[in-house]
Structure formats: C-alpha cells, structure tokens
C-alpha cells in the first residue's frame, strides 16, 4: 500500500455462483452492519458503479484484508472478545478512529467459500446482532451504526435495499 494514510484494503468477494458476497461493509445495514452489494451478479457494477470501484468505506471483511503489520499492531490487532464475528469490523473502525482510511477495492475480485471454517450454524449464531458479540459491537460503535459516514442517509438500511431510497430519509447523527 503506497498511501500511508490507508490502514486496510479489502477485495470484492464472490460466492461460488458468481454473485457478490462482499462489496464493503455498510454500518447500520440490517440494524448493525452487513455486506454491501450482496447477491449482485458479478458482471453488474451496482449502484453508481460502487460494486466495482475503489472507495473509502467504514469497514471491509477480514476474509481478505490487506494491512501493514505496523498499523495492525498500533491499533491492537483483532479483538479476541469477538471470537466468531465482528472482529474485522471492529478492527476497521479502530483503524478509522486512529486516522487511517479503510478502502474497498472492487477491481480486486476473489471467490470466497463463506463459512467453510466455522460452518453455517456457528457463523450464523456468532453474527446475530442480539448475540453477545453483536450487543458489544452495537454498544461500542453505536454512533457509526446509526450513521455510516459513507452511506447516504437518503438510502435504505434494509439488507438488499441499501441502494434504494429510504422513506423517510434518515437524519445525519453529528455526534
């Protein structure tokens, strides 16, 4: 990473069927956070081309995460209090809190066999917003879960509708 202001970069990840699994993370999507562009066909650029463009986001998945060792250690690495889910999102938010950018690179595309390590049941239980990790995440990052600075408040926060108009529009939370 040539730009020292960038703390982490994540890639676009595809499911085996060729649809997008990860296109950056939108805070507040689905109530806590979720992957943008999920299930979008890989040959489609998405809303305003955002599925294929490099852009700053609040977080990216740890499934494919490029980060300099010095930056990783400076923010304390991944938090073991999130053993099954959200450790990557928490890490990215701590990078941003320390002044580093987090970038999603939609031109870098990999296939990802999601949940291969944990299995579907284990991963699903860990990622529940009302589970212990989800509650900790929601408490620690409440302000950004209410107002992701990279997601327009005129856009919805329902999974699969993140690029459609919200009604009524959300108000920005300035603190």
**pLDDT (tens digit per residue) in 5-58:** 999 999 999 999 999 999 999 999 999 999 999 999 999 999 999 999 999 999
51-86: b or e for each residue (b if 16 or more CB lie within 10 Å)? Answer: bbeeeebbbbbbbbbebeeebbeebeebbeebebbb
Averaged pLDDT, 97-122: 80
Residue 161 is assigned to a structural domain of this protein: no
| Neighbouring C-beta atoms of residue 102, cutoff 10 Å | 25
Q: How confident is the model at residue 152 (pLDDT cuts 50, 70, 90)?
A: very high
Residue 175 is assigned to a structural domain of this protein: no
Q: How confident is the model at residue 77 (pLDDT cuts 50, 70, 90)?
A: very high
**CA proximity to 159, closest of 50, 23, 62:** 23
> Contact 25/38 with Cβ under 8 angstroms?
no
Vertex 92: Cα angle to 86 and 93 (nearest 5)? 90
Q: How confident is the model at residue 128 (pLDDT cuts 50, 70, 90)?
A: confident
- CA 66 to mean position of chain CA atoms: 14
Q: How confident is the model at residue 169 (pLDDT cuts 50, 70, 90)?
A: confident
For residues 58 and 80, give the distance between their C-alpha atoms in angstroms, rounded to a whole number.
20
Tell me how many domains the chain contains.
Answer: 1
What is the average pLDDT value for the chain, to the nearest integer? 90
Residue 56 is assigned to a structural domain of this protein: yes
77 DSSP β-pair partners = none
Question: Would the pLDDT of 122 be above 60?
Answer: no
Cα-Cα-Cα-Cα torsion 139, 103, 153, 172, nearest 10 degrees, comes to 50
Residue 155 is assigned to a structural domain of this protein: no
Residue 24 is assigned to a structural domain of this protein: yes
Poorest-pLDDT segment among 6-15, 23-32, 87-96, 130-139: 130-139
Residue 171 is assigned to a structural domain of this protein: no
pLDDT of residue 121: 47
Q: Which domain holds residue 70?
A: 6-146
Residue 172 is assigned to a structural domain of this protein: no
Q: And the tokens for 68? A: 């300099």
Residue 37 is assigned to a structural domain of this protein: yes
Question: Would the pLDDT of 159 be above 60?
Answer: yes
> Contact 146/157 with Cβ under 8 angstroms?
no
Comparison of pLDDT for 127 and 144, the residue scoring more: 144
pLDDT of residue 115: 58
Contacts of 82 (CB under 8 A, 6+ apart): 90, 133, 136, 137
Total residue count of the chain as it appears in this document = 175
For residues 120 and 124, give the distance between their C-alpha atoms in angstroms, rounded to a whole number.
6
Comparison of pLDDT for 166 and 130, the residue scoring more: 166
pLDDT of residue 129: 77
Q: How confident is the model at residue 130 (pLDDT cuts 50, 70, 90)?
A: confident
């Amino acid at each position: 990473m040539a730009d020292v202001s960038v703390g982490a970069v994540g890639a676009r990840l595809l499911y085996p069927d060729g649809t997008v699994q990860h296109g950056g993370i939108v805070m507040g999507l689905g109530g806590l956070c979720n992957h943008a562009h999920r299930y979008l066909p890989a040959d489609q650029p998405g809303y305003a081309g955002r599925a294929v463009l490099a852009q700053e986001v609040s977080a990216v998945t740890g499934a494919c995460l490029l980060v300099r060792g010095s930056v990783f250690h400076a923010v304390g690495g991944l938090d073991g209090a999130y053993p099954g889910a959200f450790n990557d999102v928490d890490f990215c938010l701590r990078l941003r809190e320390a002044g580093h950018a987090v970038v999603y690179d939609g031109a870098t595309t990999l296939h990802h066999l999601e949940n291969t390590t944990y299995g579907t049941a284990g991963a699903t239980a860990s990622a529940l917003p009302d589970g212990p990790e989800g509650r900790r995440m929601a408490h620690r990052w409440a302000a950004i879960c209410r107002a992701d600075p990279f997601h327009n408040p005129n856009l919805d926060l329902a999974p699969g509708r993140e690029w459609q108009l919200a009604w009524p529009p959300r108000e920005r939370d300035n603190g």
